[in-house]
Every structure is written in structure tokens, then in C-alpha cells.
Amino acid sequence: MPAIPTTARITAIINYKGGVGKTTSTINIGAGLARQGKRVLLVDTDPQANLTTCAGLPKDSEHTLYELMRYECDLSAAIRLETETTCGCAVLPACEKLSRLQREMADELDKERVLAEWLTTLRGDYDHIFVDCSPTRNLLNDNALVAADEAYIPVQTEHLAAQGLGLMADRIQEMRRKRVNTGLHITGIIPTLFKTSQKACHGVVEALREAWGDVVFQTVIRDNVALREAPARQMDVFSYAPNSAGAEDYAALVTEILARMEAKEVTYV
Ligand SMILES: Nc1ncnc2c1ncn2[C@@H]1O[C@H](COP(=O)(O)OP(=O)(O)OP(=O)(O)O)[C@@H](O)[C@H]1O
Ligand SMILES: [Mg+2]
């Protein structure tokens, strides 16, 4: 049977607000899709390198996104294969040096386009590419937003959560308006850290659905101890606690993502 040609969509998982579940979502969506037989690449753009360590990789690899951004190595040197990580996804790791990139590249032309240049050449090799972002507006996040076809925004289901979301929506609209990335849209809002017993959390989810409609995933990610513990074991939640509420929720989210892709109808803002 001939190989079915596929082209990976590039999805930035981003919110300038910290600790909302960006990295948790990236690793577990990736691991869930890999378990469905998808070829997935996860890109860690955060100098904290949380995704890198969650995937079972060291923080101080010789070749990382930093060397790639500086054209000091090529993709084959930087990318760790599915067989080398704990999550079943290929990973482009981060390192602490990424925090100096903005300063080092200050005078370079088209410095927001470097990641896009690299990732575009990989579209044929994967079904999905996810870019985990850090919680600040910086050069690496701008690179992620230039490279991406779409953005998923994890939103903590707490009071004031919508503020971060509004900021991201404005930024993405600005990318389109300034013609930096005219095709970029928010195609998924992921309610996270949902506390079932707290009335306020239910209210936030309702408000999100009212404001953003079907862009908000039906799946809500509950606050679950397995999701908190898995990173310390350098594992995704499916390997760490397959019967947990966390594994159940991310499996449901992956099913929803696949259904949206099959429907070929994207709801976006
Ligand atoms: N649904 C959840 N239930 C319990 N703990 C969670 C859940 N989601 C994330 N966490 C925990 O909350 C913390 C923040 O999550 P995470 O690192 O995914 O957020 P982030 O948005 O990537 O943070 P940063 O902005 O620092 O990159 C982590 O300790 C993580 O294990
Ligand atoms: Mg993170």
C-alpha cells in the first residue's frame, strides 16, 4: 500500500499567564496522540525546559533548540527520536541558554522566522507538531506564533482567567493584522485545573463557553494529583497513572482533537 501523504499542522500551546497547564497539556496531548499511532513532534521553547524533562530528557543536551536557533546544528542533531523519550513523541529539547537568545539575536533580521523555517521542513515527517511556550512575551514565543497554523490556549478555570485569554486573542489578532502570520487563529481553548467541587470553577467554564463558543473544548481537564506527580517521574500521565482522572481527561481531549481534525471544519477565533 502506498504511504498516505500527511502534512503536520503546527500548533502553539500558549498563554502568557504562567502555571495554567501549557506544558502538562503539550506532553499529554502528544503522548495521547502517539498512543493512537500518530507521529508527533513536541517542541520545547521554554528555558525552564519542563517539557524536556517531562519527556525523560536531560536539561543540558549538547544540541537543543538553542543551537538550532543559532544555526549551530541541524534538525537531525537536535531532535530526539520517539525511541529516546518516555512519551512516545519526538522532542526538540530546550535548555537554559534559551533565556539569552533574545539578547543575542537582538540585531538579527527576521529573527522571528527562524523556528518557522526549521519546522516547515518537518511537516511531511509528522502528523502533529506542538510547540510548548513559556509564560512571557518574548522572541521565542514570537517565533512560535510565526511558525504556527493554530494556537491552543489552556485556561485555568479560576476567577480572572479570562484576562490572559483576552491578551492572547489580542496578540494573535495583531499577528494577522500586521500580516506577520495571516492564517493564525485560536482553534482550541482548554479549560484546566478544574475543581469539580468548586462552584466558581463551573461558573468560569460557563462564562468561557458563552464568550468563546465551540472554540472551547468540551473536555475539561480536572485538577488531578497524577497530573501533578507525573512530571517528577519524567513521565506522561498515561504511563504514570493510566487509570487516573488525568489520563481519562487527556484521552477524551485527544479523541476530541482527532474528531475535529477528521471533521475538517475548524471553529476558530
Ligand atoms: N490538571 C491538573 N491537575 C493538577 N495539577 C496540574 C494540572 N495541570 C497542571 N498541573 C500542575 O500545575 C503546575 C503548572 O502546570 P504546567 O507546568 O503545565 O503549567 P505551564 O502553563 O506550562 O506553566 P509555565 O507557565 O511555568 O510554563 C505543574 O506543577 C503541573 O504539574
Ligand atoms: Mg510550561
Closest residue by Cα to residue 161 from 121, 124, 193: 193
The span from the CA of 256 to the CA of 117, in Å, is 29
Give yes or no for residue 242 CB within 6 A of ligand 1.
no
Cα four-point dihedral sign 150, 27, 196, 248: positive
Give the CA radius of gyration of the chain. Answer: 17
Residue-level pLDDT at 159: 85
Residue scoring higher pLDDT (161 or 89)? 89
Q: Which of 28-37, 62-71, 88-97, 254-263 has the lowest mean pLDDT?
A: 254-263
Task: Please tell me whether residue 226 adopts helix, strand or coil conformation.
Answer: helix
Residue 264 class from Cβ within 10 Å (0-12 exposed, 13-18 middle, 19+ buried)? exposed
Give yes or no for residue 237 CB within 6 A of ligand 1.
no
Could you report the per-residue pLDDT of 73-125, keeping only the tens digit for each?
999 999 999 999 999 999 999 999 999 999 999 999 999 999 999 999 999 99
Q: What is the CATH number of domain 9-263?
A: 3.40.50.300
Summarize the confidence of residues 46-67 as an average pLDDT: 97
Could you report the per-residue pLDDT of 207-230, keeping only the tens digit for each?
999 999 999 999 999 999 999 999
**Beta strand 9-13 with 150-156: parallel, antiparallel or unpaired?**
parallel
Nearest CA to ligand 1 atom 15: 21
Query: Which residue bears the cell 472554540?
Result: 215
The span from the CA of 118 to the CA of 36, in Å, is 26
At position 210, the amino acid (one-letter code) is E
Give yes or no for residue 219 CB within 6 A of ligand 1.
no
Cell numbers found for residue 93: 529539547
Give yes or no for residue 45 CB within 6 A of ligand 1.
no
Residue-level pLDDT at 6: 60
Give yes or no for residue 159 CB within 6 A of ligand 1.
no
**131-152 in b/e burial notation, b at 16+ Cβ within 10 A?**
bbbbbeebbbbbbbbbbbbbbb
Query: pTM of the predicted model, to two decimals?
Result: 0.96
- How far, in Å, is the centroid of ligand 1 from the Cα of 24? 6
- How far, in Å, is the centroid of ligand 1 from the Cα of 151? 18
